[in-house]
Amino acid sequence: MPIGLYSVLQIHIPEGEKVTPRLLTTTAVLMAILLAAACGSDEGNPQGGGTNPTASTLTVSVSSNTATLTWTQCPDDDFASYVLYRSETSGIASNPSSATLIATITDLGTLTHADGGLAWNTPYYYAIQTVDSSQLTAWSNEATITTPDSSGGGGGDALTCYEIQGQADASPYDGDDVTVTGIVTVGGDEYYAGTGTAQYAVIEDATGGEWSGLVIYGYDGILDSIERGDSVVVSGYVSEYYGLTEVVVNSVDFDDPGHTIPAPQEINTSDVTEEKWEGVLVSVKDVTVTNADLGNGEWAVEDGTGEARIDDMGTYGYSVTVGDTFTEIIGVAFYTYDNYKIEPRNESDITE
């Protein structure tokens, strides 16, 4: 207690004077008033330590590679800020310096925050430190999420190529806005897409197989960064363009290089005309050229089961003649101008 207050409270009672209840009551009231005057607001007294703010309750959800944090509002009048932390290990409150500070929010009524660009297939831990005007703090609970695996198996709300294809000639998502994920089998600069700024690329589910491929289409360099082996998440709308199922891309949401490309699916030349192989990286083996000029750079081969068209959207310099044989031709099964065909990416896809 401050010295001045202690001095005041030394109430002198003359010797022999009777101590009455009224005197005791008056003394108690005086002490209370003086204490209040000396201490003031508990929050403003450095010696008193103050009262910590009310902690928020935190919940976290994940969609694709974005975590959304939601928390309860602080009811205190002296609120100053919410400080949001993220870590790949638990125990943020006990060691906040090891975590990443992702946001400081000073608006009392802001109760949500999106934390995007997270790594795929990774656990994350979150906690919120509520701070008041006296810099006293309180920690929320710690909440955790794990981002999904993007490698062709879907990512949160992202669809797979298999889901977009719908196991039918026309996609069930035709005309819809979608987000889709897959492994790039044809980069954004490998296929000729006509004059102007249009680009083709192709993605495939990591598992491969029937209905696992999808052509994506974009403008103005939006697919420039997409290369073979990238795991990507793209958003756009589904279009049945003259019979070819494709996604017209509005944004590339995620692009992570270095993934394994699905192995080419070995099929017969007669199988190329089946819708289930559209967009899939395929291979035909031990084939012979049966027509050297079908027009528009196309030619035909067969393995004894029926003809398959070979087109030149990729970059290669072959000039074939009837009777030429090839050990293997690799490419994406495509559909243009009312015909199914194989589109090799370059000369390495064609083995004489």
Which of these, 250, 258, 227, 243, lies nearest to 336 by C-alpha position? 243
User: Strands 265-266 and 281-295, how do they pair?
Assistant: parallel
Which of these, 63, 232, 249, 230, lies nearest to 160 by C-alpha position? 232
The Cα 164–Cα 178 span in angstroms is: 9
Task: Set out the domains of the chain in order of their start, with CATH numbers.
Answer: 3-40 (no CATH), 58-146 (2.60.40.10), 161-256 (2.40.50.140), 265-351 (2.40.50.200)
- For the full predicted model, state whether its pTM sits above 0.75: no
Per-residue confidence of the chain (352 residues) as pLDDT tens digits?
444 443 334 444 445 555 454 444 444 444 444 444 433 344 443 434 579 999 999 999 887 678 899 999 999 999 999 999 999 999 999 999 999 999 999 999 999 999 987 887 789 999 999 999 999 999 999 999 888 765 444 445 688 899 999 999 999 999 999 999 999 999 999 999 887 899 999 999 988 999 999 999 999 999 999 999 999 999 999 999 999 999 999 999 888 898 999 999 999 999 999 999 999 999 999 999 999 999 999 999 999 999 999 999 999 887 899 999 999 999 999 999 999 999 999 999 999 8
Which neighbouring-strand residues pair with 221? none
Which neighbouring-strand residues pair with 182? 232
Structure tokens at 188: 């954004």
